[in-house]
A and B are shown apart, each in its own frame.
Chain A
């Protein structure tokens, strides 16, 4: 079967750095998305990786290793507004999007 694993919940301190991991086992791979979802709101697109390596976008970076079936989202200089759920999703060989359950990130002052 297809599976996306990410931690259920993480806690970090304002101003710090946090890394949210995502591992996947899917039938084929055509890219990996990260979304941010604040409570009661729509998911919003953060990043898309299809090649190995690190993609940096301001305070957020996303890393992909296709050989390891692994990605992480790195958030730097954490702000209180970064408290949200972070969803990992993989595009499989049929170009269908397989979603992880999300990681709830709690930022403490």
Chain B
């Protein structure tokens, strides 16, 4: 069974902290994505990666960075967390020819105090 695993389901951090959200997929997918999901809004793409060490900005990259050192792992980094980054974060992956996400992780609900 295919799996996208996010390291934490719930996370609470303080303003100004550097926050790491980890995502691992076991399907040998080339593409990986980070979204945030907020009430009343559609999923918004933060960053995506189509290969190791490659990254592309999505719709709302400000305040975030990413790292893809290994094919199976895609990390989202909040350089200096702010309260407006409190949200549900979803990681997803897909095969190289499918530019849209196929499989999602269960999400990380991040609260910034």
Contacts and interface: CB of A to CB of B under 8 A. Distances in A.
B43 to A, nearest CB: 4
A43 B90 contact: yes
Interface string B78-113: 000000000000100000000111111111000000
Instruction: Kindly name the residue among B4, B40, B100, B106 whose own CB sees the greatest number of chain A CB atoms within 10 A.
Output: B100
B42 A42 contact: no
Residues of B contacting A: mostly: loop
11 contacts: A40-B106, A42-B90, A42-B104, A43-B90, A89-B42, A89-B43, A91-B100, A97-B100, A99-B43, A101-B41, A101-B42
Nearest to A45: B102
Nearest to B40: A101
Interface residues of B, number: 17
Nearest to A35: B104
Interface in A7-47: 8, 33, 40-45
B89 to A, nearest CB: 12
Nearest to A100: B42
B45 interface: yes
A97 B41 contact: no
Interface string A37-76: 0001111110000000000000000000000000000000
Contact of B42 (A45, A91, A98): A98
A89 B41 CA distance: 12
Contacts of B44: 99
Interface string A71-109: 000000000000000010101000111111110000000
Contacts of A42: 4, 90, 103-107
B42 A102 contact: yes
